[in-house]
Amino acid sequence: MKRWLALMLAAALLLSGCGIKQPETRQAVYLDVFDTVTTLSAVGLSERDFQQTAEKIHETLLHYHRLFDIYNDYEGLNNLKTVNDNAGLSPVAVDEEIIRLLLDCRDYYDLTDHGVNAAMGSVLRLWQETRTMALDNPEKAALPTDAALRAAAEHCGWDTVRIDQAASTVYLTDPEQSLDVGAIAKGWAAGKAAQLAPSGFLISVGGNVCATGPKDGDTPWVVGVADPDGGEGYLRTLYDWDKAIVTSGDYQRYFELDGVRYHHIIDPQTLYPATRFRSVTVVCTDSGLADALSTALFVLPLEEGKALAEKTGAEAMWLDTQGNLSETPGFSTYLAE
């Protein structure tokens, strides 16, 4: 599930104080990571220091992009596509970062009561194929059948995902199974990349935002949560000193058939796009967890989602399909209004 998510940098680079010289804001934009826009921002660094750090972060993100790619092969590299291609055949030796990500994915699966499942690639592939057909050749597109979805759902368990940390191998014992870490990978990678940045960096990977500290002294970054109905305004603007902020929404990565919109966030219970919310925003200290939670809270009922947010120490905001906003008690701490 590759997502162009709802978070956008809103006024992050605007400097206040008319007539007062402000530290220069530097920015780098990349288009080759996780099929989305990556923006790196910092205030007060020299051009040389910023470029060196930006290049290091970019190379790290690009490495993760290749490791977690399920669509493309790379010479001399075993990635998740390699693992999927060898399902039912043999274990695949992989980079330790793949091992770490998959262990976290398994933990998130348990933590969210199966609300986010990186092992359900067999189901997600059916929806991805339909989306591609609907966009490229809508006259021939058709939804996956219930029978096909139910059959694919038989191959989504973690009991057939064998992770050998000592040997650094991954083996899918079920030949019909495949992995898809799209609900977690960008946030997870952004969090790892943030560890390479000095204090005061803002990293946005397709809207998965990480701040490594205030942008200038005690001045927070300001991050806008996009309005699902579009327009130039924002649903909310948030202060970010040192947190990860991630939004999942139904208004990016979608297709339409017969006048009905189908988005990319699939409910593991129904096997269809989740229908409770338009967007969910999560704020917490761990970027990978924030990404996983933004998906899980999108598919779970509101009260279950609130309980999960409280359990994990995260704050969250939900916009339901009727336009009603709900928040955890501490979410207002981050509101910039």
pLDDT 10s digits, 263-321: 999 999 999 999 999 999 999 999 999 999 999 999 999 999 999 999 999 999 999 99
- Domain containing 104 — which CATH number? 1.10.3980.10
Count of C-beta atoms within a 10 Å radius of residue 330: 14
Q: Are residues 319 and 217 in the same domain?
A: yes
Average pLDDT rounded to a whole number, residues 324-335: 98
Domain containing 285 equals 7-14+23-69+183-334
Q: Residue 266 has what pLDDT?
A: 98
Q: Is residue 129 part of a domain?
A: yes
Query: What is the pLDDT confidence band of residue 20, given thresholds at 50, 70 and 90?
Result: very low
Mean pLDDT, range 66-87, rounded to an integer: 98
* Residue 187 falls inside a structural domain: yes
Give residue 22's pLDDT band: very low, low, confident or very high (50, 70, 90): low
Q: Are 200 and 283 in the same domain? A: yes
Per the CB < 8 A criterion, the answer to whether 174 and 121 are in contact is: no
Quick one: pLDDT at residue 15?
30
The pLDDT score that the predictor gives to residue 3 is 36
Q: What is the pLDDT of residue 111?
A: 98
**Given 120, 146, 172, which residue is the final one in a domain?**
172
User: What percent of the chain has a predicted confidence (pLDDT) above 70?
Assistant: 93
What is the structure's pLDDT at 7?
39
Q: Domain for residue 204, yes or no?
A: yes
> Does 208 have pLDDT greater than 70?
yes
Does the pLDDT at position 6 exceed 60? no
pTM greater than the 0.85 cutoff:
yes
CATH number at residue 272: 3.10.520.10
| Predicted confidence (pLDDT) at residue 229 exceeds the cutoff of 90 | no
Count up the domains in the chain and report the number. Answer: 2
pLDDT, tens digit, 9 for 90 and up, residues 86-140:
999 999 999 999 999 999 999 999 999 999 999 999 999 999 999 999 989 988 8
Tell me what the mean pLDDT of segment 188-217 comes to. 94
| HEC secondary structure over the chain | CCCCCCEEECCCCCCCCCCCCCCCEEEEEEEEECCEEEEEEEECCCHHHHHHHHHHHHHHHHHHHHHHCCCCCECCECCHHHHHHCCCCCCEECCHHHHHHHHHHHHHHHHCCCCCCCCCHHHHHHHHHHHHHHHHCHHHCCCCCHHHHHHHHCCCCHHHEEEECCCCEEEECCCCCCCCCCCCHHHHHHHHHHCCCCCCEEEEECCEEEECCCCECCECEEEEEECCCCCCCEEEEEEECCCEEEEEECCCCEEEECCEEEECCECCCCCCECCCEEEEEEEECCHHHHHHHHHHHHHCCHHHHHHHHHHHCCEEEEEECCCCEEECCCHHHHECC
**Are residue 127 and residue 96 in the same domain, yes or no?**
yes
Degrees to nearest 5, angle at CA 182 with 177 and 183: 105
Query: With 50 as the cut, is the pLDDT of residue 84 above it?
Result: yes
Polymer length of the chain: 337
User: Does 198 have pLDDT greater than 70?
Assistant: yes
Boundary-marking domain end, from 172, 198, 215: 172
Task: Name which of 48-57, 65-74, 153-162, 210-219 the model is least confident about.
Answer: 210-219
Average pLDDT, integer, range 225-245: 91
Classify each residue of 242-259 as buried b or exposed e, where b means 16 or more C-beta atoms within 10 Å of its C-beta: ebbbbbbbbbbbbbeeee
Query: pLDDT value at position 248?
Result: 95
Check whether residue 143 and residue 289 sit in a common domain: no
Average pLDDT, the chain: 92
The residue from 172, 193, 220 where one domain ends is: 172
